Structure 1
C-alpha cells in the first residue's frame, strides 16, 4: 500500500460567467478540456476562464500570459477513485522531484473536481503557478531547464480486491437406482460452471496507455518573445489530507501532455492561425465600419 495525497483543497476561486472573447478561433475546434479517465483543462485564475486548447501536429497547446496565475483543473470522470500524478515543467507538483509516473499524486473521489493551483509546500500551503519567462521558472531556477513548457497528468485506476473463489456445492451421493442419471448430470456440470466463472473473471493484461507520441521539440527561430515557464509564485492557503491508494498497474492508465507558450510565440510557430484581415475593396465599401479596429498611424509631419 502506498501513501497518497487526497485532494481536499479549500481555496475558493471565483469564476466569471463569461470568458474574454478572442478574435481568433482555435482550429480544428475550440476544445477546453481533454482526457478520458479525467477531464483536464488549464484555467486562467485572473478571470476564471478555461484556456482554449489548440491541437497542432498531434500535440495539445495552450497560450499563457506572462504574469498570470493559472490552475490545472481536473475532474474525475469515473465512478471510482483515480490517482493523478501531475508535473509542470518536468517537476512533480507535490514533491518537487524531477517528475516520474511512480511518484506521489492527488487522489480524486468518484466524479470529484478540483483546481490544482500551485506547487505543494505543505498540507496547508501552495506556491501559486504563474506564467513567467522560461529563465525565471521554478524548474530553471532549480537547475532543470530541459522540460520547461509542458504540463503532464498521469492517471491510475485503483486496484480492486480479488473476488473470493466460487463455492463449489458437492453433488448428493448417488444410489444404484439413479446412478446413471447422476453421472450424466455430473459430466455436463463442469463445463457450464466453468463458463460462468470465465464470464465473471476480470479482464487480464496491463492497462492501455493513452499517451500520444511526442512530435519533438518545436523550432522557435521565429519566436518573437521569450519562451514561457511556470514560476514559484506567492504562497496561498490550500489544505490536503492523506489517504492510501494501491494502483491497479505500475503503468499509467492514461497520460495527458499539454504544452504551453505565449500567444505571440504560438502564432509565430503556426499553432494559432494568424488573424484574418479583410481585403480593402476598390471603390466604395459596403461595410466601412468593419475595418480592423487597430490604432492608426499618426498624420505625417510637414
Structure 2
C-alpha cells in the first residue's frame, strides 16, 4: 500500500507540473517569415552550417534574405541546379569572387552545374584540388578586409546563366537553272548576290549590340567597384568570412558559352550575428511570459510548498 501511495504521489506531482506549463505559447503575428527552403528558381541556393550539417533558417526582412551565423563556424553555399540543362553560377562572398579572388563581377569565371546536380561550395578556390574554408569571423579578420576590400562584407551572391544552344545554319538557297536570254541570266545573278550581301551585313548589328552591352557592363562593374551605384547604405555587419584552413576539394575544367551577357537570375543572401539580427528586428524576440493578476478574495492556492497534511496545533 505504501508503494502504491508513493507512485500515486509522484504521478500527481508530474501532473501538477504539466498543468503549470499548460498555457499556450503566444503567437507573433508581426514576425518576419522564416523559410527552410532554398532560394532561386534556376538554381536553389542555401547556406549550410557544416558543424551540424543543417541548412540555416532564412529570414525575410524588408525585401532581403538573411541568415544568422556564429563566429568560428564553417559554412558552405549549397546549390542545386533545378533545370534539366547546364547552368553556370558565378559566386561571390563579401564582394569577392570565390574562384578567382577578384572583386566580383557577373562576367567572371564560376562553377558549371549539370542538370539536377547539387554541390556544396565550401571555400575559396585555391587550386584544382584545394580550397580555404568559409568561416564566419569578425569583420577585421575577413578575407575581404585583409585584402583591402571591406566595403561589401556580409553578403553572399550567386549569378546564374543559361547556356547558349547552337543554332543550325539555314539551308543554302538553290536557284533553278535557266537558259534564257542574257538579260535573264543577269537578273538571276543580281538575285543571287542579294542574299549574300544581306548575310554579310547581318552580323554587324549583333556584334555592335554585344560590344555596347559589354561596355555598359564594364562601366557598371567599374562604378560598383568605386561605390558609384545607387544603393541603400545599411549598417555595417558584424560578421565576415575568413580565409579558413585548407581542405581537399577537386574540380575539373569545361567550356561554357553564356546565352546572354546579363544573368538570368541573381540570388543575394545577407548574413550577420544572431544578436545583431535580433537588434535590427530581422529575428523576432518572444515577449515575456504573461503575469496572471491575483484574484480578489480568498486564494485557492496561496502557497507553493508540496508535502502532506500536517496536524493542527494543540488547543489552548
TM-score by length of 2: 0.64
Equivalent residue in structure 2 for 1:141, among 136, 139, 146: 146
- Residue number in structure 2 paired with 1:42: 47
Cross-structure match for 1:112: 117
Change (3 A) 1:262 1:215: farther
CA RMSD of aligned residues (A): 2.6
Q: Does 1:263 align with 2:271?
A: no
Write out aligned runs for 1:68-107 (5 A). 68-107=73-112
SS at match of 2:278: helix
Deviation at 1:169, TM superposition (A): 9.7
- What secondary structure, in the 3-state scheme, does the structure 2 residue paired with 1:245 have? coil
- The 3 A distance-change label for structure 1 pair 215 and 33 is farther
Q: CA deviation at 1:170?
A: 9.5
1:231 matched to which residue of 2? 242
Counterparts of 1:138 and 1:256, CA distance in 2: 21
Q: Deviations over 1:59-99 (max 9, x none)?
A: 11110111000000000000000000000000000000111
Deviations 1:27-83 (A, max 9, x none): 323243100100000000000110011111111111011100000000000000000
TM-score of the aligned structures, taking structure 1 as reference length: 0.67
CA contact 2:34–2:57 (8 Å) conserved in 1: no
227, 235, 244: which one aligns with 1:219: 235
Contact between 1:128 and 1:236, CA under 8 Å: does it hold in 2?
yes
Please say which structure displays the higher CA radius of gyration. Answer: 2
Residues 63 and 262, structure 1, Cα contact 8 Å, conserved in 2: yes
In 2, distance between residues paired with 1:134 and 1:90? 13
Whole-angstrom CA distance in 1 between matches of 2:90 and 2:251: 15
CA contact (8 A) 2:56 2:68 kept: yes
Hey, which bits of structure 1, 4+ residues long, moved more than 6 A?
167-171
Give distance in 2, aligned partners of 1:77 and 1:33: 11
Given that residues 80 and 110 in structure 1 are in contact (C-alpha distance below 8 angstroms), is that contact kept between their aligned partners in structure 2? Answer: yes
Unaligned runs of 5+ in 2: 1-27, 177-212, 214-228, 296-316
* Equivalent position SS for 1:79: coil
Secondary structure of 2:294's aligned partner = coil
Greater RCO structure (CA 8 Å; 6+ sep):
1
CA contact (8 A) 2:165 2:259 kept: yes
| Distance in 1 of aligned mates of 2:159 and 2:73 | 25
Is the contact between residue 90 and residue 147 of structure 1 (CA under 8 Å) also seen in structure 2?
A: yes
1:214 deviation in Å? 8.8
What is the total number of aligned residue pairs between the two structures?
A: 218
CA distance in 2, matches of 1:81, 1:248: 11
Distance 2:146 2:54 in 1: 29
> Where do 5+ consecutive residues of structure 1 fail to align?
1-23, 172-205, 207-212, 221-225, 285-302
SS in 1 for 2:34: coil
